[in-house]
Amino acid sequence: METSSGHPHPQVDTGINYWFLLFMAFIVVAVTWLGIMNFTEGRKTEVAKTNGEEWVTWLTEQGAKRFEADYKIETCKGGVKPSGDPAKSDTPVLGTWGPCLDFILKNTELKDQINAFTGKAPQLIEKCIPTDISTSGAIVIEDLMPTPPGSAIPFVGSQLVETDAIDYKMQLRVSVCDKGGYAIKVAEFEF
């Protein structure tokens, strides 16, 4: 004698199940791939920030010593007044940023830095430009000039150019540009 439960067994379409599993596998692969890409881009940004931090460290250390009489790096020495008008001179003038920057880029550990976005040495640029992704990983060094007391903005930043005098205790800001060309402020310090 056969017994029947009276409930019919529904037919399961296994084709739909396989398509669903295949779709879920695709989603897992896509999410993993996007995660790896974002991690890689994040590392590049961290390398750019590390480059900026190395500039801050070197400039801060030198800024503490550059007004001493026995300071060894003549091109970055403080208190040396530029002679004549550095803007009209074709040769580097002591007491200006140009010779100091040239020394830094040729004779310090900063010359070996690599921009993770381009694989070349990081550029020193005027400012980060979000519409120009070629600025990714670049370094911005600004000279911060104090505004009058009581102003809403304590400092006004301007690009540090080769003819700028460095004969005084300077307030500087270092920023780096991220993948999108946006500025990431690293530090403000005295040089």
Per-residue confidence of the chain (191 residues) as pLDDT tens digits?
Answer: 555 566 666 666 677 788 899 999 999 999 999 999 999 999 999 999 999 999 999 999 999 999 998 999 989 988 777 765 555 555 567 788 999 999 999 999 999 999 999 999 999 999 999 999 899 999 999 999 988 888 888 888 888 888 888 988 999 999 999 999 999 999 999 99
- Residue reference for tokens 């979000």: 130
| pTM confidence score | 0.77
**Cα-flanking dihedrals φ and ψ of residue 7, to 5°?**
-105, 125
CB atoms within 10 A of CB 75: 20
Q: What is the per-residue pLDDT for 178? A: 92
- Residue reference for tokens 């301007």: 158
End-to-end CA distance of the chain: 100
**What secondary structure letter does DSSP report for 165?**
B
Alpha-helical segments (H) within the chain = 14-65, 97-107
Buried residues in 30-56 as b, exposed as e (16+ CB within 10 A):
eeeeeeeeeeebeebbebbbebbebbb
Q: Retrieve residue 93's tokens.
A: 């003038």
- Residue reference for tokens 């439960």: 5
Residues 97, 105 contacting (CB under 8 angstroms): no
